[in-house]
Copies of this chain bind each other. A is one copy, B any other.
Amino acid sequence: MTTITAVDVHDVRFPTSLSADGSDAMNKDGDYSAAYVVLHTDDPSLSGFGFTFTIGRGNDLCVAAAIQRAQPLIGREVEAIVADLGGIYRELQSDSQLRWLGPDKGVIHLALAAVMNAVWDLAARVARKPLWRLLVDMTPEQLVDIADLRYLSDALTRDEALALLRDLEPTKQQRISELDRDGYPCYTTSAGWLGYSDEKLRRLCQEAVDQGYKHIKLKVGANRDDDYRRLSIAREVIGWDADLMIDANQVWDVPEAIEWVNTLAEFKPLWIEEPTSPDDVLGHAAVRKAVAPIGVASGEHGMNRVLFKQMFQAEALDFCQLDSARLGSVNEIVAVYLMAAKFGVPVCPHAGGVGLCELVQHLSIFDYVSVSGSLDGRVTEFVDHLHEHFVEPCIVTDGAYRLPGAPGYSAEMFGSTIDEFSFPNGSYWSAPSAAVAAEDAPSVAEAADAHSVGVA
């Protein structure tokens, strides 16, 4: 018998704002951050690692919320938890007092994601399998049991979910072999951040082509002339056989989105991503009708399965970009994959952040093998940032993710990374040069001690 003895949650922040990595029309100065959860057990060789992703200030709120979310795990048997991964999810999720702060959205849901990602990592390590393998080895009944289907029965019943999974059972091995040979296709956002110069954009587009990418994504939405010029440069470099995607990061109202996107139609974008508020199901549906054949993509801010259900019901999306650290971990993600398969919408997960690539590779593999059985219209994001902080970083070659082989969810960071980038006391942030940034963003620890801030 193994017991969870303690939970550490670290506030890890990387100073990405200094290089404009991650810059877009809405998020000009993000510091890629993780509320990083470590589940310790009384077996020194066994821990679980997970995180949620934020862009700086407020990461401390997710850390504090994760501490509360993880509380019920302490003292529990690992064997019992991994034997009922649906049960532990429902238990953590259903704290009714915390639920009031959502439900199922914002800080408390990001914190649930962080904690349950660590639980799933632990479960995969116990099984000595990479997470994707743990999932594809589950029976349809087991998968439907761990999936959070609450509030979804008007779109997908348990029986429909089972039928869908059973259909693909006999041919799973053949798809695993295919991915083992070819990898899972990905695209790169690394070239197109808004804060990059034209020269850097041109160079990075060329590098992406040289590396075998067939899809490239650019940020748009701050200035029309800039968008036109940057898209011209991108098409010059990548030609017209590769796919070009554009991403507005929620800056437009619905009528403005329609008008702006249509002025860029000559560049034949495959999709416009986040044209408006991520909560606006009907708005996305209206944009989609008005900009076709340009597709509509959204989901990195898709707060929960109920939002995605409506996106599918309203035919609002051509591409579903669920986020592995915003949805309530595998339990909620599997539910979204099942709905997407029923409604015929390809899932192309969001991965622009720290560690998200490491997580989504497992999910995309699982989707192809067990749920959708298709690669049509599917391409998973890859951003070439910050992988050096992970013990088992994702491997991308020739525009494809290679199958991860190590046990777990690939979520473990190096101890040296935690020591350096913990906020505000890690060696990076406590250095004098980081003092201004640290002052901008008071930690909860400081704030909660005082419960007060002032000029005096």
Question: Which chain A residues have a beta carbon within 8 Å of chain B's beta carbons?
Answer: 3, 5-11, 26-31, 40, 54-58, 60-65, 67-68, 70-71, 74-75, 95-110, 150-154, 250, 253-256, 276-283, 286, 301, 303-304, 306-307, 309-310, 313-314, 441-445, 447-449, 451-456
Identify which of B55, B74, B97, B152 contacts A453 (C-beta below 8 A).
Answer: B74
Q: Is the CB of A54 within 8 A of B100?
A: yes
B contact residues around A101 at 8 Å (CB): 54, 58, 61-62, 106-107, 110
Q: Which of A60, A74, A97, A283 has the most CB of B within 10 A?
A: A97
Kindly report which residue of chain B lies nearest to residue A3, judged by CB atoms. B455
B contact residues around A456 at 8 Å (CB): 5-6
Cα A454 to Cα B4 in complex, Å, equals 9
Smallest beta-carbon distance A104→chain B, Å: 8
Q: Is the CB of B108 within 8 A of A58?
A: yes
- Known contacts A6-B452, A99-B26, A454-B40; decide if A303 and B279 are in contact (CB<8 Å): yes
Q: Is the CB of A26 within 8 A of B96?
A: yes
Cα A3 to Cα B253 in complex, Å, equals 36
Can you add 19 more A-B contacts, CB < 8 Å, to A30-B100, A58-B108, A151-B276? A5-B455, A8-B452, A27-B99, A40-B454, A57-B68, A57-B95, A60-B448, A65-B107, A67-B452, A103-B250, A103-B278, A106-B107, A106-B109, A107-B107, A151-B254, A279-B310, A280-B306, A282-B314, A445-B451
Cα A445 to Cα B256 in complex, Å, equals 44
Q: Is the CB of A70 within 8 A of B283?
A: no
Cα A287 to Cα B362 in complex, Å, equals 37
Kindly report which residue of chain B lies nearest to residue A74, judged by CB atoms. B455
B contact residues around A448 at 8 Å (CB): 60, 63-64, 67, 443-445, 448
Cα A28 to Cα B97 in complex, Å, equals 9
B contact residues around A153 at 8 Å (CB): 253-256
Cα A133 to Cα B256 in complex, Å, equals 36
B contact residues around A6 at 8 Å (CB): 452-456
- Known contacts A98-B58, A444-B64; decide if A281 and B283 are in contact (CB<8 Å): no
Cα A101 to Cα B447 in complex, Å, equals 18
Smallest beta-carbon distance A255→chain B, Å: 6
Smallest beta-carbon distance A363→chain B, Å: 21
